[in-house]
Chains A and B, each alone.
Chain A
Amino acid sequence: MAALSRPSDHIDSRPQTPQAGVVQPKLGLSGWLRWFWRQLTSMRTALFLLLMLAIAAVPGSLVPQRSSDPNGVTQYFADNPDLAPALDKLQAFDVYTSAWFSSIYLLLFISLIGCVIPRTKHHFQALRAKPPTTPARLARLSGFTTRDAPAQTDAATAITHARTLLKSSGYRVARFDSAGESSVSAERGYLRETGNLIFHGALVGVLVTVGFGGGYGFSGQRVLVEGQTFVNTLLAYDSFNPGRFFDDTTLDPYTLSLDDFAVAYEQQNLQAYGQPIDFTADVTVTPKGEGAEPGVVKVNGPLRTNGTSIYLLGNGYAPTITVTAPDGTVVFSDSVPFLPQDANLTSLGIVKVPDGLAEQLGMIGFFYPTQDKAASGANFSSYPDLEYPLLTLNVYTGDLGLDGGVPTSVYALVTDTLTRQTGGATGVASIELKPGESAELPNDLGTVSFVDNAPAASAAGDFTQSVPRFASFDIHHDPTQVWLISFSALVLFGLFTGLLVPRRRVWVKATARADGTVHLEYAGLARGDDPALEAAVTAVADRHLKLLKTHQLAVTTPEST
Chain B
Amino acid sequence: MNLTDSALLNSYSLYALYSAMAVYALAFIAFAVDLARRSSAVGAIEAGEVAAVTFSEADPALPAGAAASAGSTRTLERPVLKRPVLSRISARMDNDAALPYGRSSSLRVGVALTVLAWALHLAATVMRGFAADRVPWANMYEFAMTGTLLIMTVFLIVLIRSDLRFLGTFVTGLVLVLLGVAALQFYVEVAPLPPALQSAWLVIHVFVASLGTGLFALGFALSIVQLLQFRRESNVFAASEADAGEPRSALASALRLRFLATLPSSSTLENLSYRINIIGFILWTFTLMAGSIWAEQAWGRYWGWDTKEVWTFIIWVIYAGYIHARATRGWRGSRSAWLSIIGFTAVMFNFGIVNVFFKGLHAYSGL
Interchain CB contact (< 8 A) of B303 among A210, A219, A527, A534: A210
- List of B residues within 8 angstroms of A144 by Cβ: 87, 90
> With A47-B324, A492-B286, A534-B90 as given contacts, are A276 and B69 in contact (CB-CB < 8 Å)?
no
Docked CA distance A487–B96 (Å): 42
Is the beta-carbon distance between B359 and A64 smaller than 8 angstroms?
yes
- List of A residues within 8 angstroms of B285 by Cβ: 491-492, 495
Docked CA distance A269–B304 (Å): 34
Interface on B for A, CB 8 Å cutoff? 3, 6, 69-73, 86-87, 89-90, 92-93, 189-196, 198-199, 201, 271, 274-275, 278, 281-282, 285-286, 289, 292-294, 296-307, 310-311, 313-314, 317-318, 320-321, 323-332, 354, 358-361
- Chain A 528-561, CB-CB to B under 8 Å as 1, else 0, gives 0101001000000000000000000000000000
Check: A152 CB closer than 8 A to any chain B CB: no
> With A1-B71, A54-B314, A300-B298 as given contacts, are A61 and B307 in contact (CB-CB < 8 Å)?
yes
Give the Cβ gap from B358 to chain A, nearest Cβ, in Å: 6
Check: A279 CB closer than 8 A to any chain B CB: yes
Is the beta-carbon distance between A43 and B195 smaller than 8 angstroms?
no
> With A484-B302, A492-B286 as given contacts, are A142 and B90 in contact (CB-CB < 8 Å)?
yes
- Pairs of residues from A and B, 10 with the lowest C-beta to C-beta distance, nearest first: A272-B191, A271-B189, A311-B300, A299-B195, A43-B328, A50-B321, A54-B317, A61-B310, A300-B199, A61-B307
- List of A residues within 8 angstroms of B6 by Cβ: 269
Interchain CB contact (< 8 A) of A67 among B93, B271, B304, B311: B304
Docked CA distance A13–B330 (Å): 12
Count A-side interface residues using an 8 Å CB cutoff.
71
Between-chain CB contacts (< 8 Å), 6 pairs: A44-B330, A47-B328, A54-B318, A57-B313, A298-B195, A499-B323
Between B196, B325, B326, B329, the greatest number of chain A beta carbons within 10 A of the residue's beta carbon is seen for: B329
Is the beta-carbon distance between B317 and A50 smaller than 8 angstroms?
yes
- List of B residues within 8 angstroms of A484 by Cβ: 302
Check: A96 CB closer than 8 A to any chain B CB: yes
> With A11-B328, A47-B321, A60-B305 as given contacts, are A488 and B289 in contact (CB-CB < 8 Å)?
yes
Between A54, A57, A302, the greatest number of chain B beta carbons within 10 A of the residue's beta carbon is seen for: A54
Docked CA distance A302–B282 (Å): 29
Interchain CB contact (< 8 A) of A299 among B292, B298, B301: B298
- List of A residues within 8 angstroms of B293 by Cβ: 485
Between B72, B190, B300, B303, the greatest number of chain A beta carbons within 10 A of the residue's beta carbon is seen for: B300
Give the Cβ gap from B23 to chain A, nearest Cβ, in Å: 29
> With A300-B297, A525-B70 as given contacts, are A496 and B194 in contact (CB-CB < 8 Å)?
no
Is the beta-carbon distance between A529 and B274 smaller than 8 angstroms?
yes
Docked CA distance A476–B302 (Å): 12
- List of B residues within 8 angstroms of A65 by Cβ: 305
> With A299-B298, A300-B196 as given contacts, are A499 and B278 in contact (CB-CB < 8 Å)?
yes
- List of B residues within 8 angstroms of A88 by Cβ: none
Docked CA distance A212–B69 (Å): 42
Interchain CB contact (< 8 A) of B289 among A43, A50, A492, A525: A492
Is the beta-carbon distance between A69 and B274 smaller than 8 angstroms?
no
- Chain A 352-363, CB-CB to B under 8 Å as 1, else 0, gives 000000000000
Within 8 A of B (CB), among A189-215: 210
Is the beta-carbon distance between A50 and B320 smaller than 8 angstroms?
yes
Give the Cβ gap from B132 to chain A, nearest Cβ, in Å: 10
Docked CA distance A269–B5 (Å): 12
Interchain CB contact (< 8 A) of B325 among A15, A47, A277, A298: A47
Check: A143 CB closer than 8 A to any chain B CB: yes
